[in-house]
């Protein structure tokens, strides 16, 4: 009972506070909790292993990405069978909605197109979709106003 009551009360408080204040408060709480978690992991976790592993895996990703993303000349058949026509059709059908969302969010501003494209490309190559709320939180903060 209590585990269902806490999210309900948080959502209720957010709605009662209003769209601007409630969502802003939830975002600030989320950022504070993320900072606390990051600090905890840095202080308690294997920091050196995390940092070296991050850069090592980033370099390996950059090295192997062209070879693994090429469907031609591969010894295994998993790539072709894993990326089904349905999956490709899903991304092709979803992309106009992403474009319309970015256009609505960036009205009157210049969106960071290279950043948007790289985020979408990363999501597509990982096979995972990022929740729309993440993009909605990131996009308005990274855009610069248009020069008039």
Mean pLDDT value across the chain: 76
Strand partners, 109: 145
User: What would the pLDDT profile of 15-39 be if each residue is shown by its tens digit?
Assistant: 888 877 888 888 898 999 999 999 9
C-alpha distance from residue 101 to each of 97, 115, 147 (Å) = 6, 15, 22
CB 91 within 8 A of CB 124: yes
Residue 130's pLDDT band, with cuts at 50, 70 and 90, is very low
């Amino acid at each position: 009972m209590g585990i269902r009551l806490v999210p309900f009360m948080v959502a209720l408080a957010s709605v009662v506070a209003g769209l601007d204040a409630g969502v802003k408060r939830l975002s600030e709480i989320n950022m504070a909790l993320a900072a606390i978690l990051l600090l905890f992991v840095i202080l308690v976790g294997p920091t050196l292993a995390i940092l070296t592993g991050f850069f090592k895996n980033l370099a390996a990703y950059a090295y192997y990405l062209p070879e693994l993303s090429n469907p031609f000349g591969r010894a295994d058949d998993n790539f072709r069978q894993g990326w089904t026509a349905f999956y490709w059709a899903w991304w092709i059908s979803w992309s106009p909605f992403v474009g319309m969302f970015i256009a609505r969010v960036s009205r009157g501003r210049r969106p960071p197109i290279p950043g948007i494209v790289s985020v979408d490309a990363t999501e597509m190559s990982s096979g995972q979709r990022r929740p729309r709320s993440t993009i909605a939180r990131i996009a308005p903060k990274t855009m610069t106003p248009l020069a008039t």
